[in-house]
Amino acid sequence: MFGPVRGPWPDDTWKGWWGDNPPYHVPVFVLTHHARAPITMEGGTTFHFITDGIDAALTRAREAAGGRDVRIGGGAATIREYLRAGLVDEMHVAISPVLLGAGEPLFAGIDLPKLGYERTEYVPSAKATHVVLSKRG
């Protein structure tokens, strides 16, 4: 969600895909293995780079949210990690009928019913199908 860099940051010039005013307008916590100073952008977005795992990132996000909802975005591996840890209460998946290539399977190796998830909403349309998965209990 932040950028294409894999491995150490080559420099501090990359500031994300979104230009000077990213669409988030809230603090964003980027999971990474490589430390970097926060980046403050226009519109209220500040990217914070978290190197100590998903629990630390979620704790920081919850603190910043002040009781409001926290949204998790990112690649399939990140989403799978949060699902396996039981840290996702509800997940909205938008499926578009566009052939993109091999990609990365979102639910590879995950038994959603065994983890306590069920489909609670399903809305098909001409351009996308929206599925909401919720954690029971």
pLDDT (tens digit, 9 = 90+) per residue, 65-122?
A: 999 999 998 888 899 999 999 999 999 999 888 777 777 889 999 999 999 999 999 9
What was the pLDDT predicted at 8?
A: 87
What is the reported pLDDT for 114? 95
Cβ atoms within 10 Å, residue 2? 20
Instruction: Estimate to the nearest angstrom the gap between the alpha carbon of 128 and the chain centroid.
Output: 20
C-beta neighbour count of 133 within 10 angstroms: 19
Res. 137: pLDDT tops 80: no
pLDDT band at 21 (very low <50, low <70, confident <90, very high): very high
pTM, 2 dp: 0.85
Residue 16: per-residue pLDDT: 84
Beta strand 46-50 pairing with 27-31:
parallel
